[in-house]
Chains A and B, each alone.
Chain A
């Protein structure tokens, strides 16, 4: 019996787990298709928020959003949320897999961890069914008639199942095992990464394809968020509507997009000679039991999640060079995030900026998109700005990297994600190990 030598210490973290490398990233945002286009626009401080053109906006309180122009968008095809989520997730995943040098492989060597919004039969489907029902039998249009019209429309069934999007992506990219779909509201993208990190850390898989995707910019979703008074109504100035951490902020701007990350054990990535873009060093999570849409005023769950992520990474708060904020631009979130920053970092808070000032709130995709931006900040030594910072809020004594990107040496980033339903997930991302 031969003894296997233990792997070099640097391949394991301070808790003896596999270290997790990011070897490929992909992005779809309102600023562009692909990592390069989105990142360049973000560093330039450009806003991706526009007037909504994809559907009529009469009777809507908010008529602006971040919108992704899909390559096929020009054909005028009505794409419902599940279809848009799938297209954007697919574009981001293809870019990430190619960047990781794994394109052309028949199988992806790990599971799919997909963060996405809940999907359902939507209005375009429902109205089409209603018209079919009328054609069959003029009369009262009730649900039984819609169900009768739907009977046997397997394509509709498969499109609107929660498992449908993941299954089709898993089939396309050849991921192993059952695809896992997760939703933790606005923390979804971070949760998807956390699932992949954990699978690699426990040695369940050598790699994971983690995606956060969102495609819910449609009338009913806008109206629902408006009813919660969550959205900015600065419709006349779309580019200036998303104002995280600024005194005149009044709500978030709905948006959409996707990010994909190829995660691998550092050991596996180095063994195959892959380029390591950075590391996912730690994850922290904490649920809040206070209220469905608000955090406990003591900030306990937010603070707990931030601290847990930093501790999971084996770091002290002082080692964090930059925080990629949740920063939605709602009065409530930004106040609570500031409280969390002060509690965790004390007087010496690192710079914090919100990508949402430019791309809006991509909801289920946000945690993943922001993790990618965090890795790029480390790679390029550039902090993306928080734009629309005109009047500082005296209650927010933070360096929010106002309006212009800034060079900085960054080794460790804390990326925050907080969601409705008391969901708080934080990630710590780090630089690739020196060769």
Chain B
């Protein structure tokens, strides 16, 4: 009852632009799109301009969302289109890796500016008053994590099921893993899985600033970022249409790549329970062949990036020689929940174009979570 899983559609948007051509071309190497001023001192990879009407035709729907949900809903539509699966959405399963939606940062700043200067006993009441008069009703739904999936259901009609995974990078790996496992065991024929991240958000930059890992100042390639403080976040969304081979063949859909193993783990990253050891355990018995491309999800955060480098070196020493190694952080930045799906999309594009005989995708969360996926060409 274990079916082969194909990727039959990709919806990929990043700071480079949208669609397969621009991203496939980027795999050969190119300069990234960086905004070093808008959120200084933190450089980010910004959202590209999008013609939202093409995927979210109702202005009312657009108004109910903030940029994060719009970006994800847009990319989900691109994936459905490429798969030619518009007629299949009613029974399509939906798995989304999500963070939180945008806060009203102007309101946050106004509240902080006033309340930080108040004695503690007055702060609580004043907070209630300012929030009660300042919060906009629509923002609540724009903020809810599962409403990216909700909007994809509403805008594109995807209603087979809907599950939203949380937990940063690892959430996306588990969403893909679980989507593939459910299809492989015969729970449905087609699924849509992915995530989105908007880097130009002060609420998220505040959270990641707390990690101490955000890069400040100018952009530099991953290899030149000094130890620590090397994380540059990137706006991106990636959705994949996954389908059993039988389901795809029956409707004459072409496979872009075959999704082999998808494995996830979570080392405590202390002592012997290292990210590197966790990934090495996940890599055991992966049928790697010489010349396999590596699409690396190294983020630039010090510890996991160093661990990933050692893991890949170990893999090279013990197994077949890899071909091209692409650090997606150099091209599109680190897109947190969208990182793993975006890297799968890049790998699938490389395979579909015949640029690589096989592709290994790595994911190393900034704080936790290690993941690997192996993609094969469609025979």
Q: Residues of A with Cβ closer than 8 Å to B? A: 55-61, 116, 118-121, 123, 126-127, 129-131, 133-134, 140-144, 146-148, 150-154, 156-158, 160-164, 166-167, 170-171, 177-185, 191, 195, 198, 202, 204, 219-220, 223-228, 285-293, 301, 419-423
Residues B112 and A146 in contact, CB atoms below 8 Å apart: yes
How many angstroms between the C-alpha atoms of A170 and B202 in the bound complex?
30
Residues A162 and B168 in contact, CB atoms below 8 Å apart: yes
How many angstroms between the C-alpha atoms of A187 and B33 in the bound complex?
40
Residues A161 and B132 in contact, CB atoms below 8 Å apart: no
Number of A-B residue pairs with CB-CB distance less than 8 Å in the complex they form: 248
How many angstroms between the C-alpha atoms of A415 and B115 in the bound complex?
44
Interface centre among B168, B170, B210 (most CB of A within 10 A): B210
Residues B149 and A151 in contact, CB atoms below 8 Å apart: no
B230 to chain A, nearest CB (A): 14
A397 to chain B, nearest CB (A): 29
Residues B127 and A163 in contact, CB atoms below 8 Å apart: no
A157-B208, A170-B266 are contacts. A227–B140 as well, Cβ < 8 Å? yes
Segment of B77-85, B157-165, B233-241, B340-348 engaged in the interface with chain A:
B157-165
Partner of B116, one of A121, A134, A150: A134
Partner of A127, one of B41, B64, B116, B143: B116
B157 and chain A: residue at smallest CB distance: A289
Residues B112 and A141 in contact, CB atoms below 8 Å apart: yes
Q: Which B residues, 345 to 379, have Cβ-Cβ distances below 8 Å to chain A?
A: 365, 367-369, 371
List residues of chain B with CB within 8 A of the CB of A419.
146
List residues of chain A with CB within 8 A of the CB of B129.
58-59
Residues of B in contact with A, size category: 35 or more
How many angstroms between the C-alpha atoms of A195 and B175 in the bound complex?
11
Partner of A134, one of B117, B135, B153, B182: B117
List residues of chain A with CB within 8 A of the CB of B173.
178
| Interface membership of B178, Cβ < 8 A | yes
Given contacts A289-B158, A421-B144, A423-B146, 12 further A-B contacts (CB under 8 A): A118-B98, A143-B108, A150-B210, A152-B212, A161-B167, A177-B266, A182-B165, A204-B181, A227-B135, A289-B154, A301-B159, A419-B146
Main secondary structure of the interface of A (DSSP, over half): mixed
A180 and chain B: residue at smallest CB distance: B174
- 5 A-B Cβ contacts within 8 A? A118-B98, A133-B116, A140-B113, A147-B42, A420-B144
A166 and chain B: residue at smallest CB distance: B167
B184 and chain A: residue at smallest CB distance: A202
Partner of A183, one of B111, B146, B212: B146
Partner of A151, one of B105, B123, B210, B268: B210
Residues B100 and A118 in contact, CB atoms below 8 Å apart: yes
Residues A157 and B369 in contact, CB atoms below 8 Å apart: no
| Interface membership of B297, Cβ < 8 A | no
A148 and chain B: residue at smallest CB distance: B209
Q: Which B residues, 241 to 261, have Cβ-Cβ distances below 8 Å to chain A?
A: none
A146-B206, A182-B166 are contacts. A157–B211 as well, Cβ < 8 Å? yes
A53 to chain B, nearest CB (A): 12
List residues of chain A with CB within 8 A of the CB of B157.
289
Residues A120 and B166 in contact, CB atoms below 8 Å apart: no
Residues B147 and A292 in contact, CB atoms below 8 Å apart: yes
Interface centre among A156, A171, A182 (most CB of B within 10 A): A182
B117 and chain A: residue at smallest CB distance: A134
| Interface membership of B224, Cβ < 8 A | no
List residues of chain A with CB within 8 A of the CB of B367.
157-158, 161, 163-164, 167
Residues A422 and B162 in contact, CB atoms below 8 Å apart: yes
